[in-house]
Amino acid sequence: MFNGSTILITGGTGSFGKKLVHSIVDSCEPKKLIVFSRDELKQFEMLESFSGGKPKFLRFFIGDVRDQSRLEEAFHNVDYVVHAAALKQVPACEYNPFEAVMTNVMGAQNIIRAAIRQKVKRVIALSTDKAASPVNLYGATKLCSDKLFIAGNSMSGDSKTSFAVVRYGNVVGSRGSVIPFFMKKKAEGIIPVTDERMTRFSITLQQGVDFVKSSIARMNGGEVFVPKIPSYRIIDVAKAVAPEAKIKVVGIRAGEKLHELMIPEDEARLTLEFPDHFVIQPDFHWWTSMEKLMKTGGLPCPDGFSYRSNTNDKWLTVEEIRALASEA
């Protein structure tokens, strides 16, 4: 689908953005692949990461999603947009709430307006499990962002721009994730664990990239795509990364959940289940794809269903976590 097309990635120098760029470079021949981000040093370092030199279709744009006019310039003649730019650190968002709102909420609205005006074909936004029944500001801003992107489908009019969202859990080895943190603490001989009961969903960067690419291909506009991924216990991560270290329980941080949630019960009535993913459909009058999705194998989720990390039917073992940690 990307061959001969122009793709733009906001937050393109982040962990996900870099992986997606390299995936597209290795497997596709687009007309243009645009990395849109704020940090010129990261763009330079990313350019240096290509051993064979800069791919002829790769472009770097400096810009901020808060700047709608810059987005409109960048989106000119763009076919597909992957929106990965966000303020993501929970404590930083709690301490700088309006900065989080400006980037995660107002930035989302800027993306939508620019995409519609420039007649972008498809836009897919990266969300987070923290947007489901949020308990912290980061999750609340991403829930708001998700709602904006879904509603963008009813705003697009003659431009026919489609918007969808991908929601998934913690990315193994990404910046700020638990495995690199525990590996750093391993040398000290003590691993700080917030709560021994805590569970999380797990997805690798490559799995996240593959899921986003497949979601762009199958989206109609209005969906929230949720992959079926395994869970892990935080205590098992500590055992996998530092089996000889002592465990110190430090308590749950502000804005943190004991278990993660990707599909709340209230969204179950709008959710279709597929072999490897779920699709949460919008509760809007213009949505007409329920029958179409069911014909492709989607089954309605039962009343009371929820997709939670502690009730998941797929779990990573200590050995599997150790293997993932060695690759991170």
pTM over 0.85: yes
**Token pair in block for residue 134:** 């949020």
Q: Check 18, 19, 88, 130 and give the catalytic one.
A: 130
pLDDT score of 259 more than 90:
yes
Q: What is the pLDDT of residue 29?
A: 95
- Indicate the average pLDDT of the chain: 92
Q: Which of 224, 236, 231 is nearest to 127 (CA)?
A: 224
Q: How many residues does the chain have?
A: 328
Q: What is the pLDDT of residue 255?
A: 78
C-alpha neighbours within 13 Å on the C-beta side of residue 219: 30
Q: What is the DSSP secondary structure assignment for residue 258, as one 8-state letter?
A: S
pLDDT score of 285 more than 80:
no
pLDDT score of 328 more than 90:
no
pLDDT score of 288 more than 70:
no
Domain boundaries defined on the chain: 6-169+203-229+261-309
How far out from the chain centre does Cα 158 lie?
28
- Is 19 in the active site? no
Query: What average pLDDT does range 179-204 have in this prediction?
Result: 90
Residue with tokens 């809007």: 284
Sign of the CA dihedral running 53, 59, 62, 64: negative
- Range with the poorest average pLDDT among 16-25, 176-185, 254-263: 176-185
* Alpha-carbon gap, residue 156 to 83, rounded angstroms: 17
Sign of the CA dihedral running 156, 157, 158, 162: positive
Superfamily of domain 6-169+203-229+261-309: NAD(P)-binding Rossmann-like Domain (3.40.50.720)
What are the φ and ψ backbone dihedral angles of 173, each rounded to 5 degrees? 80, 0
Tell me what percent of the residues of the chain surpass a pLDDT of 70.
Answer: 95
**Token pair in block for residue 114:** 């620019």
Residue type, 148: L
Q: What is the pLDDT of residue 224?
A: 97
- E strands along the chain, which residues? 6-10, 32-37, 58-62, 80-83, 122-126, 162-166, 170-171, 190-193, 199-203, 224-227, 231-233, 246-249, 261-263, 271-273, 277-280, 299-300, 307-308
Q: What is the pLDDT of residue 290?
A: 62
* Alpha-carbon gap, residue 280 to 165, rounded angstroms: 10
Q: What is the pLDDT of residue 190?
A: 92
Tell me what percent of the residues of the chain surpass a pLDDT of 90.
Answer: 77
* Alpha-carbon gap, residue 286 to 155, rounded angstroms: 11
* Alpha-carbon gap, residue 150 to 157, rounded angstroms: 14
